[in-house]
A and B are shown apart, each in its own frame.
Chain A
């Protein structure tokens, strides 16, 4: 299948998922509304915090708003487009990968687009609202480009964490905790950490590249950090694909018959 055909498949999956969600319209709206409220509670904490301490290592409240714009938009887009990316460990452990392996499509792409999380639509809306509040129009092209790289980093890390199930058995909880760790570190300013922690957050757990580096670039553009961000995104994406492929070779089907709803 060509790249274009995969995009057509993605479009069809999204249409089907949206049509299903529209059958339960009240729940659809409730999920989106609750996610927006959820995100608002986090920002309200930071509002309280910066109300008491206006500057923390050169970070001000507006930086936090930009941070939430990038983290929510990138996480939300991944949730809607690649809704299965944080279910991988469970799918592998339960032997549900068989379905995807038997079809002439890229199995990794197919499995991660297999579901859409409509809770994530709340994140997208909230992320956009935060961006409108905190950014001038002139910053939008760069903001969207940086969000795209954050999406890749989140997605790659989710795939690597989910692929653990190929190697250690049921890694559902470990994968969930790793993903939570990534979100946790992404949602705090990088400058608060010491040098050793910063090094870890820019290498093993690339949370620093998700929001803190993009914010630094939006405030004062720097080619070195911009290229490092692109490099990190490519490295983690390649790593995720390679680890998943090695995992598939080790995968043993349980011949489990499953229904896909």
Chain B
């Protein structure tokens, strides 16, 4: 069992090393994230200067550090829908089927390796900008390992949804279009651009139960406002969605593979 997973661990390590080799690319990714945080600081700075010091339970400081986290988490994976989608559409996926590994798990290891490096650089860039223009905030160091678990589960959920959409591109034949729409759904309904508390009440209630909020909103909210009770609720929510998506992905993946065999025959 452990040996079985060792190859995925190695794939993840290779992915980390590969990403680290593209220094300029990594720097450009981090710079852009820093620029977005700068824009958010200006936008929210104006909003807070017009009214109260507390909006939807967030101070300006909390709001910006919340956005540093959502930006880093949501934009850290590769364009998985396009990467896997192209392999599915071109039939390249059949090469992987002859190899002694599970295609989805291999892609997961690959994606997580890159996501961790992208997350770290984007988070550092965002933190530097936030630190300079807004200042730091009180971090509960002891809760950080728990927040890290929520982030890793959130990234796993992110990957599963993107992998599912990529497999669907076998029928729709346009992974880029799906990727476009999914990105924006997470940006808005996942709470990447603003916490769900600023939404109209009916929309807030819906989005809080959708899987997208477990990718951005909940991990970032725990990061700026940790409570043990919320932590357990988020973990349960993430695990439920992960299980639902794994089952769906396995079913859809097998239907797709069967169709690829027929086309190949």
Q: Does B2 count as interface, using CB distance less than 8 angstroms? A: no
A-B contacts besides A34-B178, A44-B188, 14 pairs, CB < 8 Å: A34-B174, A38-B183, A38-B184, A41-B181, A42-B184, A48-B188, A49-B198, A52-B198, A173-B25, A177-B28, A177-B29, A180-B32, A192-B46, A194-B42
Residue A223, interface by CB 8 Å: no
Question: Taking chain B's interface residues, is the majority helix, strand, or loop, or is none over half, making it mixed?
Answer: helix
Interface: B24 (CB within 8 A): yes
Q: Is the CB of B46 within 8 A of A57?
A: yes
Cβ of A41 and Cβ of B187 under 8 Å apart?
yes
Interface of chain A residues 27 through 51 with chain B (CB within 8 A): 27, 30-31, 33-35, 37-38, 41-42, 44-45, 48-49, 51
Contacts A35-B180, A41-B188, A57-B46 hold; do A48 and B173 have CB atoms under 8 A apart?
A: no
Contact between B177 and A30, CB atoms less than 8 A apart:
yes
Partner of A27, one of B24, B36, B174: B174
Could you list which residues of chain B lie within 8 angstroms of chain A, going by C-beta atoms? Answer: 22, 24-25, 28-29, 31-32, 35-36, 38-39, 42-43, 45-47, 50-51, 172-174, 176-178, 180-181, 183-185, 187-188, 193-194, 198-200, 203
Q: Which of chain B's residues have a CB closer than 8 A to the CB of A176?
A: 28
- Residue numbers in B under 8 Å from A45 (CB-CB): 187-188, 193-194
Task: Tell me which of A38, A57, A174 has the highest count of chain B C-beta atoms within 10 A of its own C-beta.
Answer: A38
A100 at the interface (CB under 8 A from B): no
Considering only residues 164-205 of chain A, those with a C-beta below 8 Å from chain B are 173-174, 176-177, 180-181, 184-185, 188, 191-194, 197
Whether a CB of chain B sits under 8 angstroms from the CB of A221 is no
By a beta-carbon cutoff of 8 Å, the part of chain A in contact with chain B is: 26-27, 30-31, 33-35, 37-38, 41-42, 44-45, 48-49, 51-53, 55-57, 119, 173-174, 176-177, 180-181, 184-185, 188, 191-194, 197
Of chain A, the residue at the smallest CB distance from B43 is A192
- B181 engages A37 (CB within 8 Å): yes
What residues on B are CB-neighbors of A55 within 8 Å?
Answer: 50
